[in-house]
Amino acid sequence: MANPKKILNDPKKVVAEMIDGLVLANDGRVRKLPDHAAIVRTDLPDSKVALLIGGGSGHEPLFHGFVGRNMGDGAACGQVFAAPAPDIIYEAAKAVHRGKGILFLYGNYAGDNMNFDIAAEMLEDDGIDVRTVRVTDDVAAAPPERTHDRRGIAGDIYMIKIVGGAASELDTLDEVERVARKAVANVRSIGVAVAAGSIPETGKLTFELADDEIEIGMGAHGEAGVARQKMKSADAVADELLQKLLSDLPFKAGDEVALLINNLGATTMMEMLIVNRRIRQILEREGIKVHRSDVGTWLTVQEMAGFSVTLMRLDDELKHYLDMPAESLGYSRM
């Protein structure tokens, strides 16, 4: 298969040039740290619990597109698909800290875990209180008894939305951490891959999938899923994804949920809306009420085709934070 076409300058400079463009697209709401690949809000209140998010680049608008009012206070940006280095995280954390401690919120990957942990140890040496909540929403990555082995995928979006709201309203790091832990315990996602994406610097596709195949549960970097199958209809794919998703938490009749369908990059809105139609039929049949839904593009893998479905079970508190207004390049809600 031919390598993907990309409009770039120097492939080694994609992250630096992308961040420059991202800051400009924010119209003054965020700034880049002078010597590190990190961005922070320019309108940070003087006293608040800080929320630092981050991860590998290449998943735009995640993570650095989610910095703004009632969202992340700052983001540490790694190279494409690689966790940010500890000094980036450390400097970003120092820049967002407002005296009330910092919550680290990121997807559960070995590289992110180690680099954020090293940064947390450096900050603790400085006397700054840091807590860590890792997003573990991908049900395809490990069985329910091993949620700590599950990857973070599009559940990140609702997590940042909710914890961003909580970090704006709640006064202590303890309380913000409590809300984050409740939210992560109630969010589940599963994806389906249709075609691979590529890393700009290598120009190579990250995995191979035949023209007539899809893979249920494939991870955001091409990590193997639960089943490789022949192409099938939108309804059949939605049925399989929902069956795996609903049985996992499990979601039950009477639950209220938020539903997010995320485009991995190259899938059309038309396909996602057709899938959404079927998902809503299933949820209605199961007696699960959709409090709100989001269909769009938030966690991408370059030109990877496919999508993921996220459900979060809500109580009144989670609803409150999810429904707060938010303002960022990648996600805004009035």
Partner 1 sequence: MADTLDLKASTDMLRTVSRSVIDQTDVLTDADLAIGDGDHGIGMRRGFEGALESLDATPPDSIENALKAVGTAILSKTGGAAGAIFGTLFRAGSKPLAGRDRLDGEGFAAFLETGLEAVLKRGGVTEGQKTMIDAIAPAARAARTSSGEGLPATVAAAAAASLEGVEATKNMIATTGKARSLGERSLGHPDPGAISVSLILKAMQDFTAKA
Which parts of this chain interact with partner 1 (CB under 8 A)? Answer: 56, 78-88, 109-111, 114-115, 117-118, 140-141, 149, 199, 201-202, 204, 206-207, 219, 221-225
Nearer to partner 1, 224 or 290 (CB): 224
How would you classify the pairing of strands 38-41 and 256-263?
Answer: unpaired
Rounded Cα gap, residues 185 and 179, in angstroms: 10
Phi/psi of residue 183, nearest 5 degrees: -65, -45
Residue ranges with strand state E in the chain: 30-32, 38-41, 50-57, 74-80, 102-107, 130-135, 187-195, 198-199, 204-205, 213-216, 227-230, 256-263, 289-296, 305-313
Q: Which positions are catalytic?
A: 59, 221
Nearer to partner 1, 110 or 334 (CB): 110
Rounded Cα gap, residues 127 and 169, in angstroms: 24
- What is the SS3 assignment for 56? strand
Q: Computed over its alpha carbons, how large is the radius of gyration of the chain?
A: 19
Smallest distance, partner 1 to C-beta of residue 61, A: 20
Helix or strand run (H / E) with residue 320: helix 316-323
Nearer to partner 1, 78 or 265 (CB): 78
Smallest distance, partner 1 to C-beta of residue 149, A: 7
Nearer to partner 1, 72 or 86 (CB): 86
Smallest distance, partner 1 to C-beta of residue 25, A: 24
In the DSSP assignment, the letter for residue 326 is B
In the DSSP assignment, the letter for residue 217 is T
Rounded Cα gap, residues 15 and 17, in angstroms: 6
Nearer to partner 1, 91 or 240 (CB): 91
Nearer to partner 1, 150 or 161 (CB): 150
Burial of 268 (0-12, 13-18, 19+ CB in 10 A): exposed
Contact assessment for residue 259 and residue 241, using Cβ atoms and an 8 Å cutoff = no
Give the list of residues 6+ apart from residue 211 with CB closer than 8 angstroms, or none: none
How would you classify the pairing of strands 102-107 and 130-135?
Answer: parallel
